Structure 1
Amino acid sequence: MPHDHAGKEVTYSISELAQEFDITARTIRYYEDEGLISPTREGQNRIYSHKDKIRLKLTLRGKRLGFSLAEIRELFDMYDTDRSSRTQLLSMVQLIEAKREALRQQQEDIQMVLAELEAAERRCSGALDLLAARDGQPRSQTS
């Protein structure tokens, strides 16, 4: 855990984390409500630890990679429960492998759609060229 010069653990306010990760405070509070981070409180103020900051970073990365909040929470729970448990680690590996396979399938689907779009664009361009040639107009003037 990072500590300041006096040896005290570094903490963060909600506005500091919101600014650093370019998200709203409301998003951070939502992730707290979902059990992904758990700041301490001083009165009405939330105090976020380095662990909370790392979990927030991992949550945002997981969302970008297509993990649901439930899947991210499951990963955190498995990690927190027992980092040395073979069962927990195997479950974590299986979840990661399943997500990797889903992403590969999405990548394949995207490549197919891109190829279909390119083929459709070529067909449309060819049809426009034929119309322009038939009408004796430059292609850019055909509608």
Structure 2
Amino acid sequence: MTTQKTYSIGELAREFQITTRTIRFYEDQGLLHPQRRGQTRIYLPSDRVALKLILRGKRLGLSLAESRELIQLYIPAGDNRHQLQALLGKIAEKRAMLEQQLKDIQAMQQEMDEAEQRAREAMMQLENNNV
């Protein structure tokens, strides 16, 4: 009989370069479900995968609710087409949002450039009038 690999909270924290407090937070949020042996948390490979998805989602700008949604769609060793389609949809949403933010930033920079130019011209006018 083969036993599946398990992980301690410290092992996961080291592997993903996060704090044990972060892992406990995700557990409190219902995203991780370790088994317990007394006070010791025992994490299964499915918890490791969930943690990996949470951290990947965080890097992509996903909320914890969005990450939870994707984790719930995950089927270990199964057809994860629905999960991948949902991820692609979330990526498209985030990309569109970032593109709009970039346009907004560029418009604001243009307005600032114009305001700066007008202010410099006004300063030159004042200096020329004082000569």
Same fold (TM over 0.5): yes
Counting aligned pairs with the same residue, the percent is 39
- Check if 1:61 corresponds to 2:56: yes
Q: Hey, what's the Cα distance between the residues in 2 that align with 1:42 and 1:10?
A: 15
Matched residue, 1:141: none
Q: Which runs of 5+ in 2 are unaligned?
A: none
- Check if 1:118 corresponds to 2:118: no
Letter in 1 for 2:89: A
Distance 1:13 1:81, change over 3 A: closer
1:39 aligned residue (28, 34, 59): 34
Could you list the runs of 4 or more consecutive aligned residues of structure 1 that deviate by over 6 angstroms after TM superposition?
A: none
Question: 1:59: Cα distance to partner?
Answer: 0.5
- Write the mapping of 1:1-143 to structure 2, written as runs, cut at 5 A: 11-80=6-75, 83-84=78-79, 89=81, 91-136=82-127
Question: 1:53: Cα distance to partner?
Answer: 2.7
Letter in 2 for 1:52: D
TM-score (ref. length: structure 1): 0.67
Aligned residue pairs total: 127
Letter in 2 for 1:114: I
Q: Hey, what's the Cα distance between the residues in 1 that align with 2:107 and 2:7?
A: 48
Matched residue, 1:140: none
Question: 1:22: Cα distance to partner?
Answer: 4.3
Question: 1:11: Cα distance to partner?
Answer: 4.3
Letter in 2 for 1:135: L
Q: Which runs of 5+ in 1 are unaligned?
A: 1-6, 138-143
CA RMSD of aligned residues (A): 3.0
TM-score (ref. length: structure 2): 0.72
